[in-house]
Chains A and B, each alone.
Chain A
Amino acid sequence: MSQKLRQFSKNQIFWPLMVLLAILLANGIVSGGSFFEMRIVDGHLYGRLIDILRNGSKLMVLAIGITMALATGGTDISVGSVMAISGAVACSIVDGRLLPGASGNVAVAVVLALLAGVLCGLWNGVLIAKVKIQPIVATMILMVAGRGIAQLITEGKIVTINSDAYYFINGGYILGLPFPLFIVAFAFVLVMLFTRKTAFGLFIEAIGVNSVSSRFTGIKVDRIKLMIYTFSGLMAAVAGLIESAGIKGADCNNAGLLIELDAILSVAIGGTSLFGGRFSIPASVIGALIIQSISTSVLAMGVAPEVTLVVKSLIVVVICLVQSKKFKETIAGKFSRRAVKEA
């Protein structure tokens, strides 16, 4: 038993999980237990934990997509803009201003929005894998231009829609649990099977460690990068659907604004190195939950709006210190040295 526990504590997922539990526990203590309160409203679960899961779903989806890009030593900072594009496409079709022929069909809107995400991802992938532009620069093009494209689609307005079917993507419930959770679970299982039951995950890590030698061992580096960025675009589109469904509209100026940084931070908190190499999708998902629970706890504790950002960043600093091997060793060293002196 303790053997297993020790083994688990070496796992990449161990520290992120501890941090998440610590944050939730701290909230529970501060709120006197009401943080964990859960009741049933209109046949679905209702409580802060559900809020964390539902509001964190878009970040979890993004983290799943972006982890692989980071594991190859690249990055994708265009995800926020791709979210705006996918939301704009979907809402414009549901609203009927785009493709009036589809007469507001939600299925058509969702499929085309996802397709738009795939196209954006493909564009990033081609620039990175074929044209060999550095990932941060290549994806910056779409990060800047993407929001403009989204605004062109919606003509610079916030498109408000009133479709219950579309709202279901964010606000729907299955078995009392929010629908976005099922989207996350689906993407998660799919990616886990693909990266852990095939050699694909190993290829990604190989590219992250040394992309030149990976090529010489016969790994099709370009093709894998193309796939990764396309997938990241698709995940961003899914996140865009979740976000726009939640507010029943496409808000191109603000949809996913700066969320790429949160997504990268989720992966980093999950312990995946931004230089590439070993990666863990479950750890990234937990990282995303950590970030969302920080936002939720700042709101729950009623921190004054002027200092929320400072509080958030302080928590992140603490988490990064907890994650840092060097920091832990230094602290451990201090303690053991003192112990030696005392002896």
Chain B
Amino acid sequence: MKREADSTVFAFQNYSTFYVRRGMFQMKKRALICVVAACMMLLVAACGTSQPSGQGSESTNDKLVVGFAQIGQESGWRDAETASIQFYAGQNLDTIDLKFADAQQKQENQIKAIKSFIEMGVDVIGVAPVVETGWDAVFTEAKDAGIPIVLVDRRADVDESLYATFIGSDFIEEGKNAAIEMSVLLGGSGKIVQLEGTVGASAANDRKKGFEDEIAANHPGIEIVASQTGDFTRAKGKEVMESFLKTYGNEIKGIYGHNDDMALGAIEAIKEAGLKPGSDVAVVSVDGVRGIFEAMAAGEANVTIECNPLLGPQFFEACQTLKNGGTVEKWIKSDEGIYRADTAAADLPNRKY
């Protein structure tokens, strides 16, 4: 018995020394790899961080001092919005002092930024709430300090008295405009399909509602034969459209996409089926990204209903009014246009996002 146990121990020791020696040799290599890994992580982390930063120095009384708590970088649309606000402030350095905070998609960062804006005593606070709920406390704090809150492009689930105004798009109106455009393109009758956005997103719900209500009320000749979610992405938009085309074939005279990217995916599917997007199948979508203007210029799409992220001018105008003690409407609708294929080539160079 004992001998057996001894031999096991011996074998184990033998193994462990073998392992340790091997380990010593490998240790340096491993340490090096760890250091490289750590450096990469740091690099990635460094790329992502940015602190609330003021563009001017100390605020003086005559300047409009605005704190803006942005969600972060989540999409090209939001980047365009950020750029618009920073660009406008940069153009008016002598009258506007913008303090900008990037919350990296976290509500607590936005709340922290708002609190620091209150401490700084800014004139107006702008915020694009990352989520709808949980703002009562910090908005009340701002109200008590006498600083008006301007909600930008997203709403917050708070009492109306807690914010001064909301600047943003009317998704229902966008859907309604899309329906009218579609009806014009089809001459008032035809079968169409709808590519919905992500299930539950307010943009998807309202663009669907606005579109379907308008069709039901004023365009009886148009029939929505199928409607399915494409998750706001090109790949899903294409896949769903492929399926629609298999089921309904060339009965489909038009397609309405809740965003341009899904429509761009659908255009590829339509071509795949041997049909001509833009003429055999009318393409109407919402957003106004560059890609759809390129498609319209090539005659493959018909209309895009703009959902404008360039809110800088309207935002600062509202802030100035509020600072001067004026009143603004509770909902300032963003300036939005309808762009059609015939002017797309001319519009293309002006598209910023």
Contacts and interface: CB of A to CB of B under 8 A. Distances in A.
Interface string A244-269: 00111101011100000000000000
B79 A156 contact: yes
Interface in B241-276: 242-243, 246-247, 261, 264-265, 268, 272-274
Contact of A302 (B33, B73, B247, B264): B247
Interface string A138-181: 00010001001100100011101010000000010000000000
Interface in B281-326: 289-291, 294
B243 A296 contact: yes
Nearest to B240: A299
A55 interface: yes
Contacts, number: 101
Interface size class of B (residues with CB under 8 A): 35 or more
Interface in A121-151: 126-127, 130-131, 141, 145, 148-149
A136 B289 CA distance: 37
A247 B29 CA distance: 43
A254 B264 CA distance: 15
B76 A157 contact: yes
A48 interface: yes
Given A156-B73, A247-B268, A251-B261, A299 B239 contact: yes
A315 interface: no
B37 A254 contact: no
A41 B274 contact: yes
A288 B243 CA distance: 19
Contact residues of B: prevailing secondary structure: helix
A152 B47 contact: yes
A309 to B, nearest CB: 9
A254 B233 contact: yes
A42 interface: yes
A152 B43 CA distance: 12
16 contacts: A41-B272, A41-B273, A127-B33, A130-B30, A145-B41, A158-B261, A158-B291, A247-B235, A247-B264, A247-B265, A248-B264, A249-B291, A299-B240, A300-B243, A305-B196, A308-B229
- Which 7 residue pairs across A and B have the least CB separation, nearest first? A299-B243, A305-B229, A247-B234, A41-B274, A254-B233, A160-B291, A157-B76
Given A149-B44, A247-B265, A302-B226, 18 more contacts: A41-B274, A42-B274, A46-B274, A48-B243, A48-B246, A131-B30, A145-B40, A145-B44, A148-B47, A156-B73, A156-B79, A158-B261, A158-B291, A247-B234, A247-B264, A249-B291, A299-B240, A305-B227
